[in-house]
Amino acid sequence: MNFLVTGGAGFIGSHVCGRLLQKGHSVWVFDDLNSFYDPAVKLQNLKELGALNGSFAFVQGDLTDRAAVEQLTGSQRFDQIIHLAARAGVRPSIEEPALYQRVNVEGTVNLLEAARARQIKKITIASSSSVYGVNSKVPFSEADPIFSTISPYAASKLACEALGHVYHHLYGMDVAMLRFFTVYGPRQRPDLAIHKFARLISAGQPIPVFGDGSTARDYTYVDDTVDGIIACTEKEFGYSIFNLGESQTVKLSYLIELLQEALGKKANIHREPNQPGDVPITFADISKAQAVLGYHPRVKIEEGIPRFIDWFRKANAQ
Report the b/e string of 197-208 with b at 16+ CB within 10 A: bbebbbeeeebe
216 neighbors 251 (Cβ within 8 angstroms): yes
Q: 3-state class of 140 per DSSP?
A: strand
Q: What angle (nearest 5°) sits at the alpha carbon of residue 42, between those of residues 36 and 44?
A: 145
- Residue in 37, 100, 132, 153 annotated catalytic: 153
Distance CA 115, CA 171 (A): 10
Beta pairing, strands 183-184 & 220-221: parallel
Q: How far is CA 258 from the centre of its chain?
A: 23
81 neighbors 115 (Cβ within 8 angstroms): yes
Q: 3-state class of 269 per DSSP?
A: strand
> Catalytic residue at 239?
no
Residues annotated catalytic, as ranges = 153
